[in-house]
Amino acid sequence: MASKLQQENRAEFKRYKEDVRKEGKPFFPYAIWHDTVMSLVVVAVIIGLAVLWKATSDGTDAGALGPLYADKADPATTNFVPRPDWFFYFLFYLLRIFKWPETVVLGTVGIPTILLILLIGLPFFDRRPERAILRRPVAFVAAILVIISMGTLTWKGATAKENLGAETLALVPEWAKKQGFEGNADAVAGAKLFAESGCMNCHTYLGAGSSNLGAPDLSAEGSKGRGIQWQIDHLTNPSSKTPGSPMPSFAALGADNLKLLATFLEASKGEKK
């Protein structure tokens, strides 16, 4: 014999079915079917546009939907500035406000996480039935401030000008003076490449840079007497000289740039006393 709760549920379901028969159709399967069909149509349109773009465009020659790319990629570039998609510009600009290393955790983890927790918890701690905007001044002002803040940060991030390696590049004259290779034009040029090519993401040099993945300090690399050719071979294929090295190949920089980098490394004998 059905319990009272089961009887009530059955009666409620019966009333629901009668209302659907009189006034409309149930969510399942009608609404789900419509959503599925529409989703398939959207995906089909995207695929069709991608095929049309690829089929009618030949490299830099514009087709029906424009060229595949504007300029060929240059793997030897040292001045490319990677930028995020537009919807991350506000986070991108936060990194300019909260500088590495003392406060960067606030811009990358702290503030976004706090705001996300507040957003997730909003339905739980704000349970008032009132929904009129003018009768909810705190929520209204908070929403306006969030919109203005994200809009401003997004605009600032979109218009921010980058100067890749500017901070480390400014150290090159000091390096040359301390190491004693001011008169060696190739070593100075190699030092500039070193500052611009991302080497200091893993290596340190005269107190600058970051030590990651066990990468050694290169301030006195030249004192090891390895020679220009060894340095070039190592930059081209690091694991050939240091088995198991996680360092990526820099062969894409080209032979001339590799020689400049090698000259700089060999000229780095350690800070002169």
Task: Based on the fold, state whether residues 203 and 227 are members of the same structural domain.
Answer: yes
Count of CB atoms within 10 A of residue 132's CB?
7
For residue 258, is it within any domain?
yes
Task: Based on the fold, state whether residues 239 and 178 are members of the same structural domain.
Answer: yes
**pLDDT value of residue 77:** 62
For residue 273, is it within any domain?
no
Structural domain of 101? 86-159
CA–CA separation, 68 vs 173, rounded Å?
42
Instruction: Name every residue whose Cβ is closer than 8 Å to that of residue 148 and which is 6 or more positions away in sequence.
Output: none
Under 8 Å between Cβ of 57 and 63: yes
Task: Based on the fold, state whether residues 148 and 186 are members of the same structural domain.
Answer: no
For residue 32, is it within any domain?
no
Task: Based on the fold, state whether residues 49 and 109 are members of the same structural domain.
Answer: no
Task: Based on the fold, state whether residues 51 and 66 are members of the same structural domain.
Answer: yes
**pLDDT value of residue 158:** 86
Task: Based on the fold, state whether residues 171 and 262 are members of the same structural domain.
Answer: yes
Task: Based on the fold, state whether residues 201 and 237 are members of the same structural domain.
Answer: yes
For residue 137, is it within any domain?
yes
What is the CATH classification number for the domain harbouring 255?
1.10.760.10
Task: Based on the fold, state whether residues 199 and 262 are members of the same structural domain.
Answer: yes
For residue 240, is it within any domain?
yes
For residue 21, is it within any domain?
no
Under 8 Å between Cβ of 143 and 126: no
Say how many domains are in the chain.
Answer: 3
Q: Which of 159, 190, 214 is the endpoint of a domain?
A: 159
**pLDDT value of residue 186:** 92
Q: Which of 108, 129, 159 is the endpoint of a domain?
A: 159
Task: Based on the fold, state whether residues 176 and 255 are members of the same structural domain.
Answer: yes
Task: Based on the fold, state whether residues 115 and 59 are members of the same structural domain.
Answer: no
* Cis before 112? omega within 30: no
**pLDDT value of residue 163:** 54
Q: What is the pLDDT along the chain (273 residues), one digit of tens a residue?
A: 567 778 888 888 888 778 777 777 777 787 888 899 999 999 999 999 989 888 887 766 667 777 777 667 666 665 566 778 888 888 888 887 886 667 778 888 888 889 889 888 887 877 777 777 778 888 888 889 989 999 999 998 888 766 555 667 888 899 989 888 988 999 999 999 888 887 887 888 888 877 777 788 898 998 988 899 999 999 999 888 888 888 888 888 889 999 999 999 999 988 766
Structural tokens at position 14 = 């019966």
For residue 28, is it within any domain?
no
For residue 231, is it within any domain?
yes
3-state secondary structure the chain: CCCHHHHHHHHHHHHHHHHHHHHCCCHHHHHHHHHHHHHHHHHHHHHHHHHHHHHHCECCECECCECCCCCCCCCCCCCCCCCCCHHHHHHHHHHHHCCCCCCHHHHHHHHHHHHHHHHHHHHHHCCCCCCCHHHCHHHHHHHHHHHHHHHHHHHHHHHCCCCCCHHHHCCHHHHHHHHCCCCCHHHHHHHHHHHHCCHHHCCEECCEECCCCCCCECCCHHHHCCCHHHHHHHHHCHHHHCCCCCCCCCHHHCHHHHHHHHHHHHHCCCCCC
Q: Which of 46, 72, 98 is the endpoint of a domain?
A: 72
Residue labelled with tokens 């500035």: 81
